[in-house]
Amino acid sequence: MYQANNYLNNQNNANTQGQVKIIGNYSYNLRYCLGEGAYGKVYEGVETKTQKKVAIKKMDIKSFERDTYLKNQIIAEIEILKRFNHRNIVQFIDLITTQRSLYIITEYCGNGDLRNLMQHKRLSEEQAIKIMRHIVEGFKELIKHNVIHRDLKPANILVHDGVFKIGDFGFAKYVDYSSAQMLRSCVGSPLYMAPQILKRQQYGTKCDIWSLGIIFHEMIFGDVPWKARDERELLNNIMNQPYRIKHGAKVSKFSEDVLRRMLVVDEYKRISWDQLFETFKQYEDKLPTNNNNNPNTATLPPKLTHQEPTKDYNKIQPIQPKLSKSEALKIEMNKAFVNYDTIRSEIRFRHFICVELFSQFDQNKIFIKTELIYEKFLIVLAAQVKNQSFNLMKMIRDLEARNEEFYQKSKDLQALVYSIRKENDHYNYFIDELHDSLKKKGMLEILKGEQDIAFSFQELYSESEQQKLEDKIQQYGKDISKEMLNDIKQKKLEEALRGAIMSADYIMDIIINKKKQGKGQEVNFNQIYSDKSKQLDLKNYLEKTISRIGLLQTTFQNFF
């Protein structure tokens, strides 16, 4: 969010009568609006006790009043973001909710943003690299927590006292993950969007590497590498004009190599975050000790450091004898954190789909002939979500009991536990809502009497019953998807069918990803953003979804 030139903003509003608002321990004047984004306005404010400046983002709660789950998810995720404490990430300070608004209190950045800086001066390559080092350091922390920004652009890189900070990250990502409507949309600023987002394809954390590459190019050469009048033309230019640096341009081999590796269209061939981190580390290692100039004239150390060195948790080496007990314990806890967060991502993903299918109950039932199969699928899927969340909480409690002292010092684990507990409440609430709805339809008692799923109404499950839940999810899900798509194929294709096609697609996501896990393939559920957009041609979407049935068939043949 743009926080630059607030003096000019204030001058322009000088003739407007200001109105002071007090929210909790903070106050702000409506005259001092720093900027406006998709979800609300940002004001310059102060913490009333210390008079320290803060930025206050006000979000209208009407945007979420019909989606309580979405509102609660935003609150839970912001609680996680509050715990980031890194010099290259805008600090989240507080969250305040009222009946009408959500207020997000963040660190105030008084020196503008990167967009403003580039508009007022041409950066040297050395200055561009120095800024990149700041941003890369911030991303080390984001990637450690599996945060995808998805709207990285110069205006979202804020500056304070010569330090460049990633701002406005996470919210669009978390909103998208929780809301079906947002999941189907294309978010971000087109000029900086990865081609996978422009094409409405699946994408992961590497989408931010592309955006950062565009920013790096723009800092060095003063313009973006691809231009267009609209998204379609931009995508066409990217796909048909491979990245190249103009002949004769003066740029170091380091920058040229980094840019070529960042701006690779194929996400799988694009440089990884670990490789990018290592590339800049090697660059820093070669710097002379007196290299401390920075693009904003403030003095910074030659190597950017922060409170805790970021580790590559995916490549932790076996514990060596030379490690102290506390170091070994720290590695164990870090491994546990990554494992728990992965499990949590799968649970959240399944719950999201469960909510979607429940909201489409009446529409989807039209395409299903097998009696009660849709209701049974919802029951076992919701039960398994609740069961998986319960097991995850138990694992964390066991870890806490074994290593209580370290747990008390680990903000990451504490934040994760807080979020999981909040989400667990949502899962229990949803099951109650599902059962109430089925009861009103006169189906609940009938379902409880069905021998194949009667056990799923229990509070606790044995290991064999947990496996049975999973088997039922796979069995019912496969049959529902096939029935729905076979019926849809016979009908006249019209936009009203999109929701049903999407439901079948969601169900196949659950089945296929579970089978991938069973084969030892890694599935990062935080990176699953399918091309389920309203802007996708309906005929192509149906054909693509039907083609996944073939993958389902192959998957099950290999399984049984």
Give residue 320's pLDDT: 36
* CA atoms of 503 and 526, how far apart (whole Å): 19
* CA atoms of 114 and 2, how far apart (whole Å): 10
Beta strand pairing status for 26-37 and 40-47?
Answer: antiparallel
Distance of CA 260 to the CA centre of its chain: 26
Q: What value does the mean pLDDT take over residues 460-484?
A: 90
pLDDT band at 149, cuts 50/70/90? Answer: confident
pLDDT band at 525, cuts 50/70/90? Answer: low
Task: Please determine, for residue 22, whether its predicted confidence score (pLDDT) is greater than 50.
Answer: yes
Packing angle, helices 206-221 and 273-285, rounded to 10:
40
Q: H/E element holding 94?
A: strand 92-97
Give residue 374's pLDDT: 95
Give residue 171's pLDDT: 45
Would you name the residues annotated as active-site residues?
151
Contact between residue 76 and residue 82 where contact means Cβ atoms under 8 Å apart:
no
Residues 21-107, CATH architecture:
2-Layer Sandwich (3.30)
Give residue 370's pLDDT: 93
Give residue 333's pLDDT: 67
State the Cα angle at 328 between 519 and 521, rounded to 5°.
10
Percent of the chain with pLDDT over 70: 74
User: Per-residue pLDDT tens for 181-210?
Assistant: 333 334 457 889 899 888 877 777 888 999
Q: Which of 165-174, 208-217, 460-469 has the lowest mean pLDDT?
A: 165-174
Q: Which of 252-256, 284-288, 318-322, 449-453 has the lowest mean pLDDT?
A: 318-322
Task: Please determine, for residue 83, whether its predicted confidence score (pLDDT) is greater than 80.
Answer: no
Q: Which of 49-53, 226-230, 285-289, 336-340 has the lowest mean pLDDT?
A: 336-340
pLDDT band at 290, cuts 50/70/90? Answer: low
Question: And the tokens for 388?
Answer: 């998986």
* CA atoms of 193 and 198, how far apart (whole Å): 7
CATH number of the domain at 112-271, out of 1.10.510.10, 3.65.10.10, 3.30.43.10, 1.10.357.10?
A: 1.10.510.10
Q: 96-110, 208-222, 382-396: which has the highest mean pLDDT?
A: 208-222
Average pLDDT across the chain, whole number: 78
User: Per-residue pLDDT tens for 6-20?
Assistant: 433 443 443 344 588
Residue type, 111: N
Give residue 425's pLDDT: 83
pLDDT band at 211, cuts 50/70/90? Answer: very high
pLDDT band at 331, cuts 50/70/90? Answer: low
**pTM for the full model?**
0.52
Q: Which of 118-132, 179-193, 278-292, 357-371 has the lowest mean pLDDT?
A: 179-193
Give residue 27's pLDDT: 93
Give residue 198's pLDDT: 84
Question: And the tokens for 169?
Answer: 């990250």
Contacts of 330 (CB under 8 A, 6+ apart): 406
Tell me the domain boundaries of the chain: 21-107, 112-271, 327-558
Give residue 66's pLDDT: 60
Task: Please determine, for residue 40, whether its predicted confidence score (pLDDT) is greater than 80.
Answer: no
Contacts of 270 (CB under 8 A, 6+ apart): 206, 209, 210, 261, 262, 264
User: Per-residue pLDDT tens for 291-308?
Assistant: 544 444 433 333 333 333
Task: Please determine, for residue 559, whether its predicted confidence score (pLDDT) is greater than 50.
Answer: no
Q: Which of 77-91, 158-172, 330-344, 365-379 has the lowest mean pLDDT?
A: 330-344
Distance of CA 356 to the CA centre of its chain: 19
Dihedral, CA atoms, 7, 10, 11, 14, nearest 10 degrees? -160
Give residue 516's pLDDT: 75
The response to whether 58 counts as a known ligand-binding position is: yes
